[in-house]
Structure 1
Amino acid sequence: MSDKTLLLSDDDGVLTVTVNRPNALNALNEQVLTELRTLLEGPLPSTGGAIRGVILTGAGERAFVAGADIKEMSVMTPDEGEAFGALGQRVTRLLEELPVPVIACVSGYALGGGCELAMAADFIYATGSAVFGQPEVSLGLIPGFGGCARLHHRVGPGWARELIYTGRKIDAAEARRIGLVNRVFDTREEMLDSAAATLAEIATRSPVAVALSKSAIDGSIGRPVTDALAIEKAAFRRTFATGDMREGTAAFLAKRPPSFPGH
């Protein structure tokens, strides 16, 4: 990636993507978003076997991503602002649509676009130093990378409205209490190690079943129960045509560990 705006590392099937603008608190400018889009639109890079999980984080201890680049936005026209929002929404949707699990690992600030980027992951781990918020209204803006669309799914419409309307920031403990964050850790190293361990555990399961589960959950959000059940039923049906299902059930009956073919 040009100018190392993104740092990538692959360890045993886990791709770690680090936003690397520490002097700007990893703020999302057009370059970062474009490079994220390019990364997510293509096959995930791997030095060995297939990527089975992604860790998304920011460089340094001060910020995961402190937000979108305000200096860049301050001079945008409405058309440019719309295009910038569309780019941010494209990136968050691509992240959400990855067939492998994604864990956002947050230290320091995850504000505005940073909070929106984290919410596009499957779930969020944080350190005690993490600070979350959608403070756009204090700048005369609204969340534009998916905050209005996703936050209420994470924490409920009441909390989403309060956080967005006030622009209030919350710490990691509060974020966990309201359901935004799954787990809170004492140190960044402990957080990253735990995220890698979680992805390693998931990697022992059927990759097809994990991908179909992710797709069914994503497709069900915001839909009536009857529609969500139809989505689930279709995904459930597809598992019966997979080698993973045949291997998983055979291994269970034979009382041996499964060796999933991944198809």
Structure 2
Amino acid sequence: MPLQRVAEVTSARQDRIAVLEISMGTANTLDYLGLCDLRDSLMAQNGSDCDAIIITGSGERSFCMGASASCRDAGSIASFSELHTVAQEITGIMRKHTLPVIALVNGYALDFGFELALSADYIISVSGAKFGIPGIKFGFPPLTDIFTDITLNIPGWVYRESKTGSLIDAPRLNEAGVIGKILPPQGFRRNAIDYLKNLNLDIMKANKSRRKKPPYTVFRNSIFFQLYQPDCTQILGLERFRNTL
């Protein structure tokens, strides 16, 4: 009998909050099937009686460090296109979902992990978390349109610094209004859920419809693939960089 695949994203319920946990090693990187797990877990909450959805990472090292090496087929634009499509679906679902989606960033949020956090309605982070898209330095552009969209909602320096591939500390993003709350690492998830209970989630839900949308939606996918050059990608270099963190 073939072994049953273990889902890379698990779903649970804590009080009246749905908790989606990325669980894939200490880096919490997602391959194509893992991205599908996350997409399907979000869609499963349609019609839920929960008050909010939380996305977080397992362990204390990483929220999500992006896509794993197994899905970074550097020799195939077709394979990368599939990854791009599912990632776009995820961020689209998050932004259009009827429930507030909260990112509980328990460590590194890199590449798609950063895009995932920025797609949430609210970010709660540990003080030592770091954010960025270092994949740019190794030939990998962002997987979604979120970095185009956020220029309307956050300070320009966040966008400019992100494009360099540098990592940004949580306190700086908190000062910029990108992160809503910073909590200590001890008992982070429990304290974050307690904090959410004291927020008016109905107001957060109403604010989703008021979020500014970019005036340009055409040709962005084609721009993505103009930036992505398989011959220039350095997946081993990116993996080595992640291992140093």
Global fold match (TM > 0.5): yes
Which amino acid in the other structure matches residue 180 of structure 1?
Answer: V
Structure 1 residue 214 and structure 2 residue 208: aligned?
yes
CA change 1:210–1:171 in 2 (3 A) is closer
Q: Is the 8 A contact 2:11 2:20 kept in 1?
A: yes
Contact kept, 8 Å, 1:132 with 1:172, in 2: the verdict is: yes
Q: Which residue of 2 aligns with 1:197?
A: 195
| CA distances 1:12-61 after superposition (whole Å, capped 9, x unpaired) | 220011001124x1112111111112222334586xxx111111100000
Give the SS at the match of 1:141. coil
Would the aligned equivalents of 1:155 and 1:178 in 2 still touch at CA under 8 Å?
yes
> What secondary structure does 1:16 align onto?
strand
Shift of 1:192: 4.1
- 1:7 and 2:14 correspond: no
Q: Report the TM-score when normalising by structure 1.
A: 0.72
Q: How does 1:170-181 map to 2 (within 5 A)?
A: 170-181=168-179
2:31 counterpart (29, 50, 63): 29
Structure 1 residues 16, 118: CA separation in 2 closer, same or farther (over 3 Å shift)?
same
Q: Structure 1 residue 2: deviation in Å? A: 4.8
The answer on 1:62 being equivalent to 2:65 is: no
1:99 is matched with which residue? 98
Quote the RMSD (CA, aligned, Å): 2.4
Distance 1:210 1:160, change over 3 A: closer
Distance 1:5 1:82 in 2: 21
Query: 2:78 corresponds to which residue?
Result: 79
Q: Which fold has the larger relative contact order, with Cα–Cα distance below 8 Å and residues 6 or more apart in sequence?
A: 2
* C-alpha separation in 2, matches of 1:84 and 1:170: 25
Which is richer in helix? 1
Scaled by the length of structure 2, the TM-score of the pair is 0.77
Q: CA deviation at 1:76?
A: 4.7
Whole-Å Cα distance in 2 between the matches of residues 40 and 11 of structure 1?
A: 16
- The Cα of 1:114 is off from its aligned counterpart by 0.2
- Distance in 2 between residues matched to 1:147 and 1:61, nearest whole Å: 25
Could you tell which deviates more after superposition, 34-43 or 98-107?
34-43
Deviations 1:75-131 (A, max 9, x none): 351122122111101111111111111110112110000000111110111101201
User: Is the contact between residue 107 and residue 188 of structure 1 (CA under 8 Å) also seen in structure 2?
Assistant: no
SS at 1:32 equivalent:
helix
Query: Contact conserved, 2:137 with 2:165, CA < 8 A, in 1?
Result: yes
User: Structure 2: 5+ residue runs without aligned partners?
Assistant: 216-245
Contact 1:14-1:199 at 8 Å conserved across structures: no
